[in-house]
Amino acid sequence: MAEAPDQPIDRVFNVLEAISKAAGPTSIAEIAASLGLPAPTVHRIVEQLSARGLLKRALDSKRVMIGARLVEFGTSILRNAMIGDRPHAILMEVARSIPEHCQIGIVSEGEVLYVDTAHVAVGNGLQFNPGRRAPLHCTSIGKLFLASMSPKRFEDWLAIADLKAFTKHTIADKNALYADIKSIRKTRWAYSGEEFVDGVSGCAVPIHTRNRFIGGLGVAAPSIRFSFDHAQSLLPSLINAGNLIAAAVT
């Protein structure tokens, strides 16, 4: 016999989904109103999930946000989805067709986490092997993530960000980075010209599911052959591969 659609487990998942999709910390009353549930019911579920590290209270507030354990779950789920057979095959194919080193990266703990890579024998360049991490402000995938934020959320992030200069090309000025991210929101792709490592440039396109940024498909190559114009010429192939990867993980 099929279960009724409003079982306790359904309510738990609905509460988790509502909080995960919220633009920021949200209140018990807002969650209850959006789900059509009694506030005491939502309060009880939130307390149970908070006790397990899946949710937490925002600093100096009664508002609720996702907790560290839920973030870890989400990262693990997304990483495993991205390294499945089909996404990896798509990554290998686009790397061969360009041909350049290609990577899939997600954002974890405020950094880019590279979860899969495809190498081609066309020179050295920087190889972002799986498990390697990189900053947000000076990598193409990281800048795509920043561009995916709402303007208010990005401004809040920028206000406290430490824009470390890794090379003389790193955008370490907050006004300049603000302008760069604003441009990326319009073009929907990002370029990084020796901003993280001298002699290495890259570009990336977003991987979206349900109109939400879940990761990026990036390219890294020696700057001598990877100009902005060359990167732009690769966009049709990269965008198509990004869309195929998104379809493969949903």
Is the model's pLDDT at 126 over the cut of 60? no
* CATH number of 44's domain: 1.10.10.10
By C-alpha distance, which of 118, 96, 104, 112 is closest to 204?
Answer: 104
Q: Assign 1 a pLDDT band (cuts: 50, 70, 90).
A: very low
In a domain, 1, yes or no: no
Q: Assign 129 a pLDDT band (cuts: 50, 70, 90).
A: low
Torsion of CA 161, 177, 140, 220, to 10 degrees: -110
Domain boundary among 41, 66, 91: 66
Boundaries of domain holding 230: 72-248
- Pair 76, 43 in one domain: no
Is the model's pLDDT at 24 over the cut of 90? no
- What pLDDT score was predicted for residue 149? 93
Contact 146, 136 (CB under 8 A): yes
Going by the DSSP 8-state scheme, the letter that residue 63 receives in this structure is -
- Pair 86, 196 in one domain: yes
- Pair 121, 244 in one domain: yes
What does the alpha-carbon distance between residue 26 and residue 52 come to, in Å, rounded to a whole number? 19
Residues shown for the chain: 250
What average pLDDT score do residues 114-122 get?
A: 82
What is the pTM (predicted TM-score) of this model?
0.79
- What pLDDT score was predicted for residue 127? 58
Q: How many domains does the chain have?
A: 2
- Pair 46, 109 in one domain: no
In the chain, % of residues over pLDDT 90: 70
What average pLDDT score do residues 97-111 get?
A: 91
- Pair 62, 134 in one domain: no
- Pair 97, 147 in one domain: yes
- Pair 60, 99 in one domain: no
Q: Which helix (H) or strand (E) holds 246?
A: helix 235-248
- Pair 103, 150 in one domain: yes
Q: Please report, in angstroms and rounded to a whole number, the separation of the first and last CA atoms in the chain.
A: 28
In a domain, 62, yes or no: yes
- Pair 62, 121 in one domain: no
Is the model's pLDDT at 2 over the cut of 50? no
- Pair 113, 215 in one domain: yes
Residue 136 tokens, joined: 């947000």
SS3 91: helix
165 φ, ψ (degrees, to nearest 5): -90, 110
What average pLDDT score do residues 209-219 get?
A: 91
- Pair 38, 95 in one domain: no
- What pLDDT score was predicted for residue 142? 97
Q: With the C-alpha atoms ordered 194, 179, 172, 140, is the resulting torsion angle positive or negative? A: negative
**Which of 18-27, 56-65, 85-94, 167-176 tops mean pLDDT?**
167-176
- Pair 191, 82 in one domain: yes
* CATH number of 194's domain: 3.30.450.40
pLDDT digit string, tens, across residues 94-103: 999 999 999 9
By C-alpha distance, which of 83, 94, 88 is closest to 120?
Answer: 94
**Which of 9-18, 150-159, 174-183 tops mean pLDDT?**
174-183
Is the model's pLDDT at 30 over the cut of 90? yes
pLDDT digit string, tens, across residues 216-240: 999 999 999 999 999 999 999 999 9
**Which of 37-41, 52-56, 187-191, 210-214 tops mean pLDDT?**
187-191
pLDDT digit string, tens, across residues 63-102: 999 888 888 787 777 777 777 789 999 999 999 999 999 9
- What pLDDT score was predicted for residue 212? 86
121 φ, ψ (degrees, to nearest 5): -85, 70
Is the model's pLDDT at 209 over the cut of 90? no
In a domain, 185, yes or no: yes
